[in-house]
Chains A and B, each alone.
Chain A
Amino acid sequence: MTPNHHIVLRGLDGTTPLGFLAALGLVNALRECLPDLCLAWTTDEGGWVAQLGSSAPIRQADLLDRLDKTLVKSLNQHPARLYEEVKQQPGNVFLQVRQAAAVGHRREADFLAAIASNLAPAEATSQLQTTRRDYHVGNIESILGRTTRSHLDRTLFKPWDYADPMDNQSLHLDPSEDRRHAYQWHKPSGDPTRRRRGTMLGANRLAIEAFAWFTVWPVGGALKTLGFSGFGSRETRWTWPIWTPFVPPDLIPSLLALAPLQDDPIGESDRRRLRHMGIAAVYRVRRILVGKTPNFTPARKIA
């Protein structure tokens, strides 16, 4: 589909895991506000940046206004509250969410399907979750409460300056948050700079909205996540595609779930097929463990 109007979001770089997730989260957040919303990627100064298309004109200020209205500030109003609820009464929560779900109202059901499974142990987490379990919900609550219009403005329309503090308000999704001791000036624990800069709060806020697209399913007592392959700190990899035609939100999960993306290496015929589908590049990160904290490595183009 070719939209009548589009806007290039220079901040959302699809070659980084956080940038890619923020773009998906933006689409998920706005899909009900903008008619015929769609997403594509275009090159800009060394990266693949997101382009949002719609049948209605999209202006920078309008986009921020709509996000202001759509993005809730409180954990109680966000499906992320299910993290706590599913820990306390797992059986009931799955039943209630399932009964409340409908074709036009599946936000909570999608989110729950992305963070837990009633067939897996309660301590199993999504492979997309890179914050420590004990900090995760607290960090989400901070992000929901502290994100302002200016954070989103900087995230969407400017090259990222990582000028937001990291303490208790980062989901650890950006490879730059790999803070191995020997590679930086300050000792990682108690690093005073964490309180001043290091992350993009707006990107983390939008990434939360993308979680719902990454469904999990139980495998041997753990949770496997859509788009991921392998288990363990050395083998887990996340692979995502970058597409150049405009794609509506409902098609995005299908692109994330394409089976050939998980091959290593991706066969030539599959690469050719992906190219014909409009997928211009495929990026892959490894999910490693640095101390006790999971981290994504910088992305590598694999096709």
Chain B
Amino acid sequence: MLTLAWTYLTGYARATDPARRDAPEWPPHPARVWLALAAAFFETGEDPAEGQALEWLRTLPDPQVWLPVQAGGRRHVVTAYVPVNDKAEGTALLQSAPLARSKQPRTFPAVWVGDRPCFLHWPEAPDSDRYRPALTQLCARVTRLGHSASLVQMWVAERPPTPEDSFAGWLPTEEADSGLADLHLRRIFQGPSLERLRETFQAGRRPLVGLAAGYRAATFTPPPMTNTTVFDRDLLVLTQVDGPALPVTASLQVMQALRDTLMAHCPQPPPAWVSGHDAQGQPLADGRGHLALLPLPFVGYEYADGRLLGVALAFPTEIDRRERGRVIGPLFVNQQGKPADVSLRLGRLGVWVLRKRAWDDTRLTLQPETWTAFPRGAKRWASVTPVVLDRFPKANRLTERANWEYEVGSILFEACQYAGLPEPVEIDFGTTAWTPGAPRAIAKERPVRGASPPAQARLGDGFPPYLLKGARAAKPQVHVFLRFAEPVVGPVLLGAGRFLGYGLFKPLDFFVPKRS
């Protein structure tokens, strides 16, 4: 057994697809890893032991490729204009002057990987003990994989990762089935020898690696006991394609407009699972069997700004796909079967245009798994929009703080039961969110000194209150942290506003919370 591992020090893999200058190469091809090792070998003294180890690697069968589950987010490739080289002779000084120097287009495709390592793993590697010291030495000298800005740290790992560690595997297919695979990665096996590389380099050429092996994704069966909620994990995601950039605090307006649009365009009268009301116009008794609308904000990352990137529809599990398609389909798909644009009129905020998410949209925020934690589930979840309590606590928050907190905890505990969740082993709540980028549960206000009549001024960001029709006061809304004993598959939606975007949770297992 042999496992090579590396991390991208900047969090990005910068390597161009050999067949397309404007596309990144991902997953990394085994041949590229081997060539990075060969480059380190040639640049650092050509230790014979390292050379033998590299030639030995060429004799091994195609390796498995293991990558962090969340890696592979592609950046939008833009054309950059770079200064051209100076001429060696003549007016070199003038050429370097910013105005006199022409620029030419080129692209720098990159893929976001994060700080978790990537692996090449050979389950069968006879004589690996013999070559391990030389490979360890050589790996330590590798500085980049791909473009010179694609800095890496590489080492010989003790063992390969597993799906349980949140790694996705690509396994080589049998030689006979290589042509049947969907993914082809350039291979080390039967690749160019060190001697051929030396000749190629001396001729001023780049190495040519034309042979590729077929790969298939390693399948992962989720644990059978993973808990799920009353909502189907198969979210219908809509992305914003036009309109103003809106903060997550505008969720309520967007969700209300989306609900109005859905109600207007679905078969009349709207089915109860869309409207949430029975034939007599009464709200469904326990809230189950009801379509929920989710805002999808960019939150939970270091540089998250809380901007809404799209929305999602969470269907009740008991509504089958055919029924969903019959009722919702005509609004989002045109007669040619292509995604149709849906406009939401948001008053002073403008018009928002939504379209069904393209299958190749790699933005993590718009992937259902980001919000459902499917297939592994997550034990820790935190709200990104405030949870509106189902009822008012009887205790006074200011004078009976302990009782108030106990009561709120009980209400949240009951809300978990309503939502079909298992009993949480830990509940925490407060006005500040656990996920970076999510604003406070409610905007802070203070009286304006000397104002007549008396007025309140807002302090910083915060969600507007969720005011039910006919209610005189808004129920308290808080941010909530939940921890379960067993992994839960979402979407997790809690509280009174759960059908209109409030009380939406995001799994925290991949992120470090600010507090717990």
- Interface positions of A (Cβ within 8 A of B): 13-16, 43-48, 159-163, 176, 180-183, 185-187, 197, 265, 268, 271-272, 274-275, 279-283, 285-286, 297-303
Bound complex: CA A271 to CA B214 (Å): 12
Q: Are B106 and A271 in contact (CB under 8 A)?
A: no
CB distance from B188 to the nearest CB of A (A): 9
With beta carbons under 8 angstroms apart, the residue of B84, B106, B199, B205 that contacts A187 is B84
Residues of A within 8 A of B191 (CB): 45-46
A46 touches B190 (CB 8 A): yes
Instruction: Report the Cα distance A9→B232, complex, angstroms.
Output: 59
**What total of A-B pairs shows CB separation below 8 Å?**
97
Q: Please name 8 further chain A to chain B contacts, defined as beta carbons within 8 Å, in addition to the given A45-B196, A300-B18, sorted by A numbering.
A: A43-B190, A43-B211, A45-B191, A46-B211, A47-B208, A159-B200, A161-B199, A182-B82
Is B209 engaged at the interface, CB distance under 8 Å to the other chain? yes
Q: Contact check: which of B179, B200, B203 meets A163 at CB < 8 Å?
A: B203
CA distance A280 to B210 in the complex (A): 13
Select A274's contact among B179, B196, B211, beta carbons within 8 Å: B179
Asked if A298 and B203 make an inter-chain contact with CB atoms under 8 angstroms apart, the answer reads no
Could you write out 17 A-B pairs with CB less than 8 Å apart?
A: A13-B208, A13-B210, A43-B190, A46-B31, A46-B209, A46-B210, A47-B208, A159-B200, A162-B203, A180-B105, A181-B84, A181-B104, A181-B105, A282-B179, A285-B19, A297-B20, A300-B18
Contact A161 B203 (CB under 8 A): yes
A283 to B182, CA, bound (A): 14
| A271 & B179 in contact (Cβ 8 Å cutoff) | yes
Chain B minimum-CB-distance residue to A48: B210
- The reply on B192 being an interface residue by CB < 8 A is yes
| Contact status B19-A298, CB under 8 Å | yes
Kindly list chain A residues whose C-beta atoms are within 8 Å of the C-beta of B178.
281
Question: Which residue of chain A has its CB nearest to the CB of B205?
Answer: A162
In the bound assembly, the distance between CA atoms of A272 and B19 in angstroms comes to: 24
Tell me whether B210 and A47 are in contact (CB under 8 A).
yes
Q: How far is the CA of A13 from the CA of B209 in the complex (A)?
A: 10
Given A183-B106, A265-B182, A299 and B203 contact (CB-CB distance below 8 Å)? no
Which residue, of A14, A46, A282, has the highest number of chain B Cβ atoms within 10 A? A46
CB-CB nearest 6 A-B residue pairs: A15-B210, A182-B106, A181-B104, A300-B19, A182-B104, A301-B212
A45, B176: Cβ atoms closer than 8 Å: no
Is B417 an interface residue, CB under 8 A from the partner?
no
| Residues on B with beta carbons closer than 8 Å to the beta carbon of A281 | 178-179, 212
Query: What are the residues of chain B within 8 A of A16 when measuring CB–CB?
Result: 208, 210
Knowing A46-B191, A162-B205, A286-B19, say if A299 contacts B210 (CB, 8 Å): yes
Tell me whether A45 and B190 are in contact (CB under 8 A).
yes
Min CB–CB distance B516 → chain A (angstroms): 46
A182→B179 contact, CB < 8 A: no
Chain B residues with CB under 8 A of A302: 184
Task: Give the distance in Å from the alpha carbon of A268 to the alpha carbon of B216 in the complex.
Answer: 13
Cβ proximity bits B203-232 to A, threshold 8 Å, 1 near / 0 not: 111111111100000000000000000000
Assess whether B458 is interfacial by the CB under 8 Å rule. no
- Chain B residues within 8 Å of A161, by CB: 199, 203, 205
Q: How far is the CA of A53 from the CA of B315 in the complex (A)?
A: 64
Whether A268 pairs with B180 at a CB distance below 8 angstroms is yes
B100 to chain A, nearest CB (A): 15
> Does B44 lie at the interface of the complex (its beta carbon under 8 Å from any beta carbon of A)?
no
Q: A159-B199, A265-B182, A303-B179 are in contact. Are A45 and B106 (CB under 8 A)?
A: no
Contacts of A197 in B (CB 8 A): 204
Complex Cα distance, B185 from A302, in Å, reads 10
A286 to B184, alpha carbons, bound, how many Å? 17
**Alpha-carbon separation in the docked complex, A46 to B176 (Å):** 18
Residues in A with CB closer than 8 Å to B208 are: 13, 15-16, 46-47
- Interface residue from B18, B19, B20, B193 paired with A45 (Cβ < 8 Å): B193
Chain B residues whose CB sits within 8 angstroms of the CB of A279 once the complex forms? 179
Across the interface, which residues of A come within 8 angstroms of B180, CB to CB? 268, 271-272, 275, 303
Residues in B with CB closer than 8 Å to A283 are: 210
Give Cα A265–Cα B85 distance, bound, in whole angstroms: 40
Q: Which residues of B contact A280 (CB under 8 A)?
A: 179
User: B397 contacts the other chain (Cβ, under 8 Å)?
Assistant: no
Distance A298 CA – B20 CA, assembled complex (angstroms): 8
Residues of chain A with a CB closer than 8 A to B204's CB:
197
Rounded to whole Å, the gap between the CB of B170 and the closest CB of chain A is 15
A36 CB → nearest B CB, Å: 28
Q: Which residue of A186, A187, A275 is within 8 Å of B179 (Cβ)?
A: A275
* B401 interface hit (Cβ, 8 Å): no
Q: A299 with B84: in contact, given A45-B191, A162-B203, A281-B179 (CB under 8 Å)?
A: no
Rounded to whole angstroms, the CA-CA distance of A300 and B199 in the bound complex is: 24
Residue of chain A at shortest CB distance from B187:
A46
Question: Contacts of B363 on A, CB cut-off 8 Å?
Answer: none
